[in-house]
Structure 1
Amino acid sequence: DFTNHIDIVRRNSKMTSINSAIEIDLTGQIVSDSIGRNFFSGFGGQVDFMAASPHGFDGLGKAIIALPSRTTKGHTKIVPFLTQGSGVVTTRAHARYIVTEHGIANLWGKSIRQRAYELIQISHPDDREKLEKAAFDRFKVMPSP
């Protein structure tokens, strides 16, 4: 209750939180504890830190989600739609910076189409064409910066 309390987190200068994710959809919804009906962990303080870090007293904090672009079995972690039954831990409203081994996506203040573009750019190169097609099918326009 104390360490994860939003008011306590906001008292820190340059507060930067780094959390992970199991899956992220093209709009920036973040799943961190489950896939479908299978739970892998709790969400810990992710909700609190993602909300509070950018709003520290000095305004210099960052909320970051870091993850590999693919699972160990080679499945993409950036997906057109979340797996049915998965729980969103971090909403698209709180998603700011997403980092993979292929780069950084800054989602803050972006439209849904721009978010899709940013996330496709940091996905595994072998997954990008499929994600672009899925984005076009979903949004009826090509993602653009």
Structure 2
Amino acid sequence: MTQDLPKPDYAQNMKLIGYSDQGGRPDGVQIMVNKGHAIVGHMFSDGFSVIDCTDPRNPMPVAYVPAPPNTWNIHLQSHEDLLLVINAKNMFASEEFQNEEEYYKGKLGKKVGTADTASTDRNWTAGMAVYDITNPAEPK
């Protein structure tokens, strides 16, 4: 199995022993580890995955929890049996950012509808979701 793993371009004093494609979701942006499970927030897959790493040579995706529509789950924290997941606007799913250059122009707080109380529709979910991860393979 290890001969099939990707070869890192550089690594000193480290050896790659396992690999996961994160359930076909290669866009992980943050990882928290809890009870032998890696919880991975995704930027473009819109949600988070749980990967069982109790066998580090063979990490296996065991759960995927989708984010609400038009919402990113790109920041998360775990502590004991709790997982805190931040819901934020998926800016690249928004009409105003279909041309990615628009993301980098002007005041972002106004563009995403968070700095202006007179902003238009909010078709995404903001805030923090709290999950029970007593069993990390089954977030509730």
Q: Which category describes the TM-score, using the shorter chain as reference length?
A: under 0.3
Higher percent of residues as helix: 1
TM-score (norm 2): 0.24
Higher strand share: 2
Q: Normalization by structure 1: what TM-score?
A: 0.23
